[in-house]
């Protein structure tokens, strides 16, 4: 049977996806060692540097792919298992703690890209949609204040990442301050949240300022 142009196009897409997956996996491996370079990632993936650049034109693209892989492969299964948790606020806290552990384990992830804050905000905003049902259940059970919205979730998580996923932060420190952060979600004796002003809600700028202090 003759190979059609459509068959060849599909094969190219499959090959490209396979190459991107290999480079992403190599990125996780190399970034997990600490200091990393694009050349090291290309070598780990078994591709030339030109091939790497064809799929990932800069460091930010690699970090974005690695962070998406972390969220999809390590966090989403945890969220799926938490759907029927009798204590959804505790489940949310466990998910946030696991996220911090994963990002910290990838020792070079935060420092590899100059604008990690932008990449993290984009990834966590997409990721937060999967947490929305868990947030609603926690609110319905009175475990989380009712004035918290889905839009607050990525801001809350990025605050935690910016403050607690810094290389060298001890696991006990992360656990202690994650618990303190989540206590702020407790509705008991909570004061009403002030309205969020769109013109003052530039999360990328805020986190970027933290990253460069």
At 173-212, the pLDDT tens digits run 778 888 888 888 888 867 777 776 665 555 455 445 444 5
Going from the N-terminus, what domains does the chain have, and what CATH number goes with each? Answer: 1-57 (1.10.10), 59-211 (1.10.357)
Is 22 in contact with 8 (CB distance < 8 Å)? no
Q: Report the C-alpha gap between 92 and 82 in whole angstroms.
A: 8
Q: Rounded mean pLDDT of 75-90?
A: 89
What is the per-residue pLDDT for 20? 92
Asked if pLDDT for residue 151 goes beyond 80, the answer is no
Helix, strand or coil, per DSSP, at residue 195: coil
Q: Report the C-alpha gap between 112 and 101 in whole angstroms.
A: 17
Q: For residue 16, give the nearest of 56, 49, 72, 44 by alpha carbon.
A: 56
Q: Report the C-alpha gap between 79 and 113 in whole angstroms.
A: 27
pTM of the predicted protein model: 0.73
């Amino acid at each position: 049977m003759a190979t059609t142009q459509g068959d060849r196009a599909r094969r190219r897409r499959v090959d490209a996806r396979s190459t991107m997956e290999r480079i992403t996996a190599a990125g996780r491996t190399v970034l997990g060692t600490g200091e990393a370079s694009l050349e090291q990632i290309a070598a780990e993936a078994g591709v030339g540097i030109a091939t790497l650049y064809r799929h990932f034109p800069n460091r930010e693209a690699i970090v974005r792919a690695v962070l998406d892989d972390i969220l999809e492969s390590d966090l989403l299964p945890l969220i799926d298992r938490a759907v029927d948790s009798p204590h959804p606020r505790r489940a949310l806290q466990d998910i946030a703690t696991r996220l911090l552990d994963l990002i910290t384990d990838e020792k070079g992830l935060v420092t590899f890209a100059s604008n990690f804050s932008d990449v993290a905000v984009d990834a966590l905003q997409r990721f937060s949609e999967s947490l929305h049902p868990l947030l609603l259940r926690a609110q319905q059970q009175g475990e989380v204040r009712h004035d918290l919205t889905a839009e607050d979730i990525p801001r809350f998580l990025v605050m935690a990442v910016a403050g607690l996923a810094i290389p060298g932060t001890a696991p006990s420190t992360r656990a202690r301050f994650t618990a303190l952060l989540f206590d702020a979600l407790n509705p008991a004796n909570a004061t009403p949240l002030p309205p969020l002003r769109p013109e003052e809600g530039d999360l990328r700028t805020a986190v970027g300022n933290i990253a460069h202090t």
